[in-house]
């Protein structure tokens, strides 16, 4: 935290500037964000945010051990396993909650890892809009790993495109225009030329996939995958192909990685930032202080199915054979460390990584809230919460 920056921002804040910022985001994205956007960005020192990025990279690297790779492969459901995978996940997110340690200092705690794309287009637009609307100085950075706007665009673009013509790469999603993340999809097309395509619009001919682009059937050579397996299953969506098919197509984020690096990974990790976590089928009895624990299904998205302070009844309701698909985790006590005119707010920091020739952090993403979780449903009707951006200042 940078108290001087925080005070200065709060004092200069106006509703007019905030509305101007939202309007700028909507104009640039070509759509109104489908999720709340916070009235404020968050300010961090370079040493703090770089430390988070290094910790996230260390956790990801722990998952490369041969023994764990073998176990993780077994976690991939047969339907989502298949050929043409990249040897590494192209996109990885590591989420940290901010808590206060025994000495009162702000410390990070791991919330989740996921090998799935995030808002690589939208987040940069949001940061730029904050900077312009609130006249934030150019000395405040928003990128990680030594990147700037130009190199960020190149690194992310390389991971998405893989050297292909953008017209032959698609962002594949279920009903993309109905998704809350549609603004990010629109920005992705504007910046990298990759169009969002509904799963139902993909056509298979032999081993090849095609889509209609402006009245012309175009070959799909690479898929920037944004289809969440959990949503695919819940909606019963039928794909025009099978992930197990030997298709002549590349994947920028094969669905198998969604399972390998996920909540499934957390019990295997060893680091001071990782909360105590067990697979449910390995738990003989619930802890006495169960209000300090949460029960999470392994492969749900956006906090779906999480139970705080699980009871014996909650556990009994899960069949024995399904308990290997849940974790019991020490609850993270998010601390309200961001001072705002509407009271202190909690923050979750996502470090967004891209993995091409090397694993590298590229940008932070922030979610603010005061509810049990950072999602929209837990923060309805509140102000100074929602999606936000991080501005990074070099240490004095």
- Token pair of 235, please? 């909606």
Sign of the four-CA dihedral 297, 301, 304, 310: positive
Q: Which pLDDT score, from 0 to 100, does residue 285 have?
A: 81
Q: Which pLDDT score, from 0 to 100, does residue 380 have?
A: 63
pLDDT band at 151 (very low <50, low <70, confident <90, very high): very high
Q: Which pLDDT score, from 0 to 100, does residue 377 have?
A: 52
Q: Which pLDDT score, from 0 to 100, does residue 374 have?
A: 62
How far, rounded to the nearest angstrom, does the alpha carbon of residue 234 sit from its chain's CA centroid? 20
Residue 307 lies in a domain: no
Residue 298 lies in a domain: no
Cα separation of 308 and 178, whole Å? Answer: 30
Q: What is the mean pLDDT of the chain?
A: 92
Of the chain, the percentage scoring pLDDT greater than 90 comes to: 76
- Token pair of 190, please? 């504007």
pLDDT band at 34 (very low <50, low <70, confident <90, very high): confident
Residue 309 lies in a domain: no
**Could you write out the DSSP letters of every residue in 96-118?**
EEEEE-TTS-EEEEEEEEE-S--
pLDDT exceeds 70 at position 37? yes
Reported as a single tens digit per residue, the pLDDT across 158-214 is 999 999 999 999 999 999 999 999 999 999 999 999 999 999 999 999 999 999 999
Residue 320 lies in a domain: no
How far, rounded to the nearest angstrom, does the alpha carbon of residue 140 sit from its chain's CA centroid? 23
> At 125, which helix (H) or strand (E)?
helix 122-133
Reported as a single tens digit per residue, the pLDDT across 65-119 is 888 889 999 889 999 998 888 889 999 999 999 999 888 889 999 999 999 999 9
- Token pair of 363, please? 């940008």
Of the chain, the percentage scoring pLDDT greater than 70 comes to: 96
> At 65, which helix (H) or strand (E)?
none
Residue 311 lies in a domain: no
Identify the CA nearest to 23 among candidates 124, 118, 121, 126.
Answer: 126
pLDDT band at 304 (very low <50, low <70, confident <90, very high): low
Q: Which pLDDT score, from 0 to 100, does residue 181 have?
A: 93
Q: Which pLDDT score, from 0 to 100, does residue 372 have?
A: 67
Identify the CA nearest to 36 among candidates 379, 352, 370.
Answer: 379
- State the burial class of residue 271 (Cβ atoms within 10 Å of its Cβ: 0-12, 13-18, 19+): exposed
Please state, as a whole number, how many other Cβ atoms lie within 10 Å of the Cβ of residue 257.
24
Q: Which pLDDT score, from 0 to 100, does residue 302 have?
A: 56
Q: Which residues contact 394 (CB under 8 A, 6 or more apart)?
A: 45, 46, 139, 141
- Token pair of 182, please? 């549609």
pLDDT exceeds 80 at position 287? yes
Q: Which pLDDT score, from 0 to 100, does residue 303 have?
A: 56
Residue 312 lies in a domain: no
Residue 296 lies in a domain: no
Looking at residues 16-39, what average pLDDT do you find? 93
Reported as a single tens digit per residue, the pLDDT across 336-356 is 999 999 889 999 999 999 999
**Could you write out the DSSP letters of every residue in 207-268?**
TEEEEEETTEEEEE-EEEE---HHHHHHHTPPPSS-TTS--S-EEES-HHHHHHSSGGGGGG
Reported as a single tens digit per residue, the pLDDT across 191-200 is 999 999 999 9
3-class DSSP state of 219: strand
228 vs 372 pLDDT, higher one: 228
pLDDT exceeds 80 at position 299? no
Cα separation of 255 and 240, whole Å? Answer: 16
pLDDT band at 373 (very low <50, low <70, confident <90, very high): low
Question: Domain tally for the chain?
Answer: 1
Q: Which pLDDT score, from 0 to 100, does residue 312 have?
A: 86
- Distances in Å between the Cα of 79 and the Cα atoms of 229, 233, 332 are 10, 11, 33
pLDDT exceeds 60 at position 325? yes
Domain boundaries, position 216: 3-275+332-393
Q: Which pLDDT score, from 0 to 100, does residue 270 have?
A: 94
Looking at residues 22-26, what average pLDDT do you find? 95
Reported as a single tens digit per residue, the pLDDT across 208-246 is 999 999 999 999 999 999 999 988 988 999 999 999 999
Q: Which pLDDT score, from 0 to 100, does residue 199 have?
A: 96
Residue 365 lies in a domain: yes
Looking at residues 127-152, what average pLDDT do you find? 97
């Amino acid at each position: 935290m940078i108290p001087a920056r925080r005070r200065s921002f709060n004092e200069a804040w106006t509703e007019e500037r905030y509305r101007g910022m939202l309007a700028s985001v909507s104009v640039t994205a070509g759509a109104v964000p489908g999720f709340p956007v916070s009235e404020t960005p968050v300010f961090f020192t370079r040493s703090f945010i770089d430390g988070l990025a290094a910790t996230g990279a260390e956790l990801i690297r722990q998952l490369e051990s041969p023994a764990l790779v073998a176990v993780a492969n077994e976690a991939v459901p047969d339907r989502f396993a298949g050929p043409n995978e990249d040897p590494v996940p192209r996109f990885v997110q590591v989420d940290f909650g901010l808590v206060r340690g025994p000495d009162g200092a702000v410390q990070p705690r791991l919330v989740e890892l996921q090998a799935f794309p995030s808002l690589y287009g939208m987040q940069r637009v949001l940061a730029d809009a904050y900077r312009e609307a609130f006249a934030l100085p150019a000395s405040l950075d928003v990128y990680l790993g030594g990147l700037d706007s130009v190199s960020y665009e190149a690194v992310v673009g390389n991971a998405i495109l893989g050297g292909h013509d953008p017209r032959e790469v698609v962002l594949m999603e279920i009903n993309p225009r109905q998704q809350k993340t549609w603004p990010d999809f629109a920005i992705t097309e504007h910046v990298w030329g990759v169009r969002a395509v509904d799963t139902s619009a993909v056509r298979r001919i032999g081993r090849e996939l095609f889509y209609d682009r402006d009245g012309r059937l175009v070959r799909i050579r690479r898929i920037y995958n944004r289809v969440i397996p959990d949503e695919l299953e819940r909606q019963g969506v039928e794909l025009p192909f099978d992930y197990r098919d030997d298709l002549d197509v590349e994947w920028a984020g094969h669905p198998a990685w969604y399972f390998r690096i996920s909540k499934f990974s957390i019990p295997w990790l060893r680091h001071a930032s990782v909360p105590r976590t067990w697979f449910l089928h390995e738990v003989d009895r619930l802890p006495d202080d169960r209000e300090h624990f949460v029960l999470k299904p392994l492969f749900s998205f956006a906090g779906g199915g999480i139970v705080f302070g699980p009871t014996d009844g909650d556990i009994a309701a899960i069949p024995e054979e399904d308990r290997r698909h849940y974790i019991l985790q020490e609850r993270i006590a998010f601390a309200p460390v961001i001072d705002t005119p509407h009271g202190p707010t909690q923050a979750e920091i996502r470090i967004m990584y891209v993995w091409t020739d090397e694993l590298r952090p590229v940008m932070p993403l922030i979610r603010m809230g005061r509810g049990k979780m950072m999602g929209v449903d837990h923060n309805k009707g509140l102000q100074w919460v929602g999606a936000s951006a991080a501005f990074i200042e070099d240490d004095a």
